[in-house]
Amino acid sequence: MDGSDASPPTVRTNSIDARIEFSFKGETYAFSSTLDLDRLLAQHDNFSALYSILAKEHGIDTYSYLYEVMQETEIEFENAQGLASEFISDGIFDQQAFTANWQDNRTAALLQPIATRELGIADLNQHPKLKAALLQAFNLGRRT
């Protein structure tokens, strides 16, 4: 096989199904949405907007008592795809760990061309200590 029949690598998108169920004024509400985690984090940098995103998708005013009750209810997660599947267990999604890993991967993608150009390293993943040092330097630079 000469590789000419090889298909391009599949890009794994990160998504997860979020479900929330709660009662307000004697009525039960159950909402679910499939979240594009790449888009969510690119726009918001963390999961703080998750309740407002779910509310808007389901026509709930974020200035209502219904929304306040919704925020008091824990969101359940399932059907994680891509990298997200590594951060879910028994319906609990480790949002902080996923976010940190997602941001590191995004930063590493930005650093890879520099490592290639300046150090001749084609794949930073093959040099985990160097990758970790570059990520730490990048994050230190962002904080100052």
Strand ranges, E, within 40-93: 76-81, 88-89, 92-93
Q: Is the dihedral of CA 38, 40, 46, 51 positive or negative?
A: negative
pLDDT at 12: 61
Integer Cα distance of 30 and 58 in angstroms: 10
> In the chain, which stretches have pLDDT less than 70?
1-12
pLDDT at 1: 45
Strand ranges, E, within 65-117: 76-81, 88-89, 92-93
Integer Cα distance of 143 and 139 in angstroms: 6
pLDDT at 3: 44
- Read off the pTM: 0.77
Nearest to 17 by CA among 36, 40, 45: 36
- Length of the chain in residues, anyone? 144
Domain borders along the chain are 15-93, 104-143
pLDDT at 45: 81
Coil, helix or strand at residue 7 = coil
Integer Cα distance of 3 and 40 in angstroms: 36
